[in-house]
Amino acid sequence: MRNVAIIRDNIKNEKVGLSIVSVILDNEYLKSLVNKPDLIIFILTKQGMTLSSLELDPIEVFKNITNINFKKKPYVVRSIKNHKFYIATTPLYKIREKINNKPVETIIGTLGILYGFESVNKFMITFQRISIIIFVIAVIFASIIAILFARNITVPILNLKELVGEFQKNFIEIPKAKIIKDEISLLQNSFSEMSANIILKTRELEKANEEISAAYSVMKKELLMARNIQEAIIPKIFPESEIVSLSGMYLPMEDLGGDFYDVYQISPTKLGLVIADVSGHGVPASLITMMAKVSFATYSKEDKTCSEIVKIVNEELCKVIADVDNYLTVFYGILDLEYNELEYSNAGHNDVYLIKSDGTLILLSSQTTFIGKLDFLDFPSDKVKLSIGDKLVLYTDGIPEARNKDKDFFTYERFNKILLDNRYLAAKDLVELVRKEIDEFQGEELPHDDMTLLIVDIIGEGLKSKVEIGISIERESVIPESREIIESEELDKLFIKAIEKFKEGNFDDARKILEDKLYKKYKLENDNFKVVNLLGHVYYKMMRYNEAMKFWKEALLLNPNSKEVNHNIEVLK
């Protein structure tokens, strides 16, 4: 070892026994070290400095002499100006006696290392070479891993993706993997089973959907047929006389409704009027309306009062619907054309309006409960006198309770005002006005209930003779079981057109439509009866009585029980 001169200065932190010194190494000595590859180690204390080469370990020597503890803390590295050296230093500690049972460490010196540039450069070059070799090996290894990954994972995944895409596009079953060699193959097999199940279930659903569609088509056709039948039982043609004029409208909420009205010619001088509202909608309600219509038609006889007719109908309906949830509200009246008098029974129905010619509104209110539930009920009746200009307004609550898009109601007040303000209109015109007002109020909003309206306009005093021959088409109480829907609708349109021509006085045009396009064209006798009967009226108006008698006799063959045809034949004779 070799001692080197030192200068002790800049003494600081005397309280902890720490001295910071500056070391001056002999320039000549440092120059002699420039070309040496070895590292120079030195220990610096207050007593001086010791240098060593790698052959000797000054730390071990110093420890043996001074009992120094050396802690491996990070070196402080700096370069020495004007010399091709680096110097690295770290403090040396010595443990003193314990204070308060805790050992006290004191810095007593510095361990330093001088690095020559050549030594460092050689090390760095070696390190760089090793680093480059390691990097190249790492790149090669990563490339091999990437190739293996692409071959064993990426390519199978892309193939599976292509198969799934083909399945989505063309609905082709995904094939199973030929060899199970990895998780991708297992995944492909799972996808294959899944695609097969999806295709199977889809075909089952398609088959079920076809069956449902076919059933729905049949049901829709049957509903349309039922709707046509139901509309057929709602009168479009009313008895005509110099005493009374009638008009009505029926707007079901669904394909099949639960409202109906009807007009019966009980005798040459009496008309039966009925309007009913069945609770509920759809098929059940429509069936009940048909039963009720048939019952009222069957029991509306000249020898029975209003109370008796409603009581009998209630008893008949209770036998059928007493145990179901549906019931009916009914207003039934008998209009005596000879004395301009109305006898009526209101069974749970909303108020029927009697609008007098002077604008007075009389309510014909309910006198008892609805029908179809309790077969022991009686139904009282009242009578009211009618005058020229009076109007009876029979309706269901679907009209005042119609709603618009804002859920506002049409209201009874609005309905009453329309009726009173336009009471001078003819029955047909007033019905059309009410319908127009409802349509404008509702806008695009769908109806929430069936809407039915029947207006009876008193236009003459009570007659002293029988009802003048006019259009009065009776319907059989038996509802037709089937009808060719499209053909029947076209024939019905022609029949209505013939009626319009008849009302306009264009009797020859009406005759041509009836004889050329409608005569014996219907499949049901009841429909052909209407055509033949109307032909009798046409020829009667044309004063061709022989032809009128011919067609009325033919009508009588189709419907021997028609009181109206028998009456017309007797009058013609």
pLDDT of res. 178: 60
Nearest-angstrom CA–CA distance, 319 and 374: 10
Return the minimum-mean-pLDDT range out of 55-69, 253-267, 533-547. Answer: 55-69
Q: Is the pLDDT of residue 518 over 80?
A: yes
Nearest-angstrom CA–CA distance, 4 and 234: 133
Q: Is the pLDDT of residue 349 over 70?
A: yes
Two structure tokens written together for 371: 């029908």
pLDDT of res. 62: 47
Q: Is the pLDDT of residue 162 over 60?
A: yes
Strand partners, 334: 272, 343
What value does the mean pLDDT take over residues 296-315? 92
The DSSP line for 448-515 is: SS-EEEEEEEE-SPPPSSPPPS-------SSPPS---HHHHHHHHHHHHHHHHHHHHT-HHHHHHIII
pLDDT of res. 13: 35
Residues in the chain: 573
Task: Write out pLDDT tens, residues 524-548.
Answer: 777 788 888 888 888 888 888 888 8
- Output the CA angle 195-196-197, nearest 5 degrees: 90
CB neighbourhood size of 188 (10 A): 23
HSE, CB side, 13 Å, CA atoms: give it for residue 568: 29
pLDDT of res. 251: 84
pLDDT of res. 27: 47
Task: Write out pLDDT tens, residues 220-251.
Answer: 777 777 667 766 678 777 877 788 999 999 88
pLDDT of res. 158: 66
Do 1 and 52 form a contact (C-beta atoms < 8 A)? yes
HSE, CB side, 13 Å, CA atoms: give it for residue 479: 21
pLDDT of res. 361: 93
Two structure tokens written together for 363: 């309510």
What value does the mean pLDDT take over residues 311-334? 89
pLDDT interval class at 87 (50, 70, 90): low
pLDDT of res. 477: 32
Do 295 and 257 form a contact (C-beta atoms < 8 A)? no
What value does the mean pLDDT take over residues 258-282? 87
**Stated pTM of the model:** 0.51
Two structure tokens written together for 433: 């006005």
Return the minimum-mean-pLDDT range out of 38-47, 148-157, 310-319. Answer: 38-47
Two structure tokens written together for 181: 């060699």
Q: Is the pLDDT of residue 504 over 90?
A: no
CB neighbourhood size of 65 (10 A): 8
Strand partners, 76: 89
Return the minimum-mean-pLDDT range out of 54-58, 158-162, 267-271, 292-296. Answer: 54-58
**Which H or E run includes 262?**
strand 259-267
Residue bearing tokens 């009027």: 273
- Residue of 355, 353, 352 lying closest to 421 (CA atoms): 355
pLDDT of res. 216: 78
Domains of the chain in start order, with CATH, are: 2-123 (no CATH), 234-468 (3.60.40.10), 479-573 (1.25.40.10)
Instruction: Find which of 36-45, 190-199, 299-308, 446-455 is predicted with most confidence, using mean pLDDT.
Output: 299-308
Nearest-angstrom CA–CA distance, 423 and 359: 8
pLDDT interval class at 259 (50, 70, 90): confident
Top pLDDT among 40 and 244 is at 244
The DSSP line for 332-353 is: EEEEETTTTEEEEEEEBPPPEE
HSE, CB side, 13 Å, CA atoms: give it for residue 297: 20
What residues have CB less than 8 Å from 368, skipping those under 6 apart?
345, 346, 347, 348, 377, 378, 379, 380
- Residue of 149, 150, 188 lying closest to 167 (CA atoms): 188
pLDDT of res. 92: 64
pLDDT of res. 245: 92
Could you tell me the CA-to-CA distances from 391 to 425, 457, 461 in Å, in that order?
Answer: 10, 5, 14
Nearest-angstrom CA–CA distance, 86 and 80: 6
Give Dmax over CA atoms of the chain in angstroms.
166
- Output the CA angle 94-98-102, nearest 5 degrees: 100
Nearest-angstrom CA–CA distance, 163 and 174: 6
SS3 labels along 113-158? EEEEHHHHHHHHHHHHHHHHHHHHHHHHHHHHHHHHHHHHHHHHHH
What separation, in Å, do the N-terminal and C-terminal C-alpha atoms of the chain show? 164
pLDDT of res. 9: 34
- Count of helices and strands (H, E) across the chain: 14, 16
Average pLDDT, the chain: 75
Nearest-angstrom CA–CA distance, 332 and 261: 10
SS3 labels along 5-28? CCECCCCCCHHHCCCCCECCCCHH
SS3 74: coil
Nearest-angstrom CA–CA distance, 329 and 277: 5
SS3 labels along 154-174? HHHHHHHHHHHHHHHHHCCCC
Alpha helices, H only, 322-460: 412-421, 427-442
Burial-class residue 315 by CB neighbours within 10 Å (0-12, 13-18, 19+).
Answer: middle
Nearest-angstrom CA–CA distance, 35 and 505: 140
Q: Which amino acid is at 432?
A: E
pLDDT of res. 55: 47
pLDDT of res. 213: 84
